């Protein structure tokens, strides 16, 4: 159980998105602040191509001028695609380095790089698409960790007139409706990869930009590179991930995101020893504005 000033805890969550996702890599009170565990992974393949997308999203749909920034990456091989937060992958790699030895654990530069990567992590979903089976496994977490597998969605794209250049690559326009939002995609026929950010795909070329018509979620390609042998495609191998249905996972995620602090107190994850100013205000539900509004 964590004993903490709840106001301080709330402010910490606002500043460090990685912590809110439940990523507790430092371990063992006896080990002190330099105790780390290696990341437990289930590796599926090695990527051949990495496609990068800058992310802009509104945490609160009513605050139209307030965007949060992120960096995501789509990893592609012959058998799988994997999509997730670039900085989370970077943080995982640094954790493995820090956990390798006591000397590494005390590497101040590496510690700083980890916290920098952790604080820049903003996209909480990891998707692994098994191309042969046409099914997607998703891992997501807030207070709890969830995993679900479901058939890859079939997008009813409508090809639209219009063209543009993204990263000097000619792109064409398509639209579809998915999970309660209307999406616009710009895709490049010259890049013969029928994939895009998150679970999107099915167009005759790589999705270079994707956004909903309210512009709550905007993914824009900002790089394509050949992968290295170190670019493995993995999911987390932890018993704490609950295997549930998609409906159960997304419903729980939304509830925990909107009521994080009150649920953390209720579950005993934290115990309030001192109520800071505006305590009740901080317990009020927060907006979620998830990419998927319906499921």
Say whether 247 sits in a helix, a strand or coil.
helix
CA nearest neighbour of 181 among 292, 92, 76: 292
Residue 214's pLDDT band (cuts 50, 70, 90): very high
Mean pLDDT value across residues 159-179: 97
Task: Indicate the Cα dihedral angle 289, 258, 246, 203, nearest 10°.
Answer: 10
- Residue-level pLDDT at 24: 39
- Residue-level pLDDT at 33: 66
Mean pLDDT value across residues 25-37: 59
- 166 versus 32: which is more confidently predicted? 166
- Residue-level pLDDT at 14: 38
Mean pLDDT of the chain: 90
Verdict on whether the full-model pTM lies above 0.85: yes
Mean pLDDT value across residues 183-199: 98
- Residue-level pLDDT at 34: 79
SS (H, E, C) 77-142: CCCEEEEEEHHHHHHHHHHHHHHCCHHHHCCHHHHHHHHHHHHHCCCCCEEEEECCCCEEEEEEEC
Residue 290, C-beta contacts closer than 8 angstroms, at least 6 positions apart: 250, 253, 254, 257
Tokens of 106: 């005390």
Q: 284: burial class by Cβ within 10 Å (0-12, 13-18, 19+)?
A: exposed
| pLDDT, tens only, 101-148 | 999 999 999 999 999 999 999 999 999 999 999 999 999 999 999 999
- 5 versus 145: which is more confidently predicted? 145
- 24 versus 44: which is more confidently predicted? 44
- Residue-level pLDDT at 32: 53
Mean pLDDT value across residues 216-244: 97
User: Does the pLDDT of residue 12 top 70, yes or no?
Assistant: no
d(CA 129, CA 136): 4
- Residue-level pLDDT at 213: 98
CB 125, CB 254: distance < 8 Å: no
Return the number of other C-beta atoms located less than 10 Å from residue 61's C-beta. Answer: 13
| pLDDT, tens only, 55-81 | 999 999 999 999 999 999 999 999 999
Residue 276's pLDDT band (cuts 50, 70, 90): confident
């Amino acid at each position: 159980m964590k004993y903490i000033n709840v106001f301080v805890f709330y402010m910490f969550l606002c500043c460090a998105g990685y912590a809110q996702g439940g990523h507790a890599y430092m371990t063992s009170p006896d080990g002190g602040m330099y105790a780390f565990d290696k990341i437990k992974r289930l590796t599926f393949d090695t990527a051949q191509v990495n496609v990068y997308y800058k992310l802009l999203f509104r945490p609160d749909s009513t605050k139209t001028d307030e965007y949060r920034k992120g960096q995501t990456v789509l990893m592609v091989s012959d058998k799988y695609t994997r999509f997730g937060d670039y900085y989370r992958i970077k943080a995982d790699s640094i954790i493995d380095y820090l956990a390798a030895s006591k000397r590494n654990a005390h590497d101040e530069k590496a510690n700083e790089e980890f916290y920098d990567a952790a604080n820049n992590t903003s996209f909480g979903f990891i998707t692994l698409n098994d191309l042969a089976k046409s099914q997607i496994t998703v891992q997501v977490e807030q207070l709890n960790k969830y995993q679900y597998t479901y058939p890859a969605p079939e997008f009813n794209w409508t090809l639209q007139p219009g063209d543009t250049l993204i990263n000097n690559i000619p792109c064409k326009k398509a639209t579809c409706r998915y999970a309660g939002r209307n999406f616009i995609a710009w895709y490049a026929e010259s890049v013969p990869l029928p994939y895009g950010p998150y679970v999107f795909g099915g167009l005759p070329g790589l999705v270079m930009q994707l956004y909903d018509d309210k512009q709550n979620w905007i993914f824009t390609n900002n790089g394509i590179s050949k992968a290295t042998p170190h670019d493995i495609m993995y999911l987390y191998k932890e018993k704490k991930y609950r295997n549930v249905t998609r409906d159960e996972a997304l419903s729980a995620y939304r509830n925990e995101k909107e009521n994080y602090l009150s649920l953390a107190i209720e579950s005993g994850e934290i115990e309030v020893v001192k109520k800071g100013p505006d305590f009740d205000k901080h317990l009020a539900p927060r907006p979620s504005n998830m990419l998927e509004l319906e499921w």
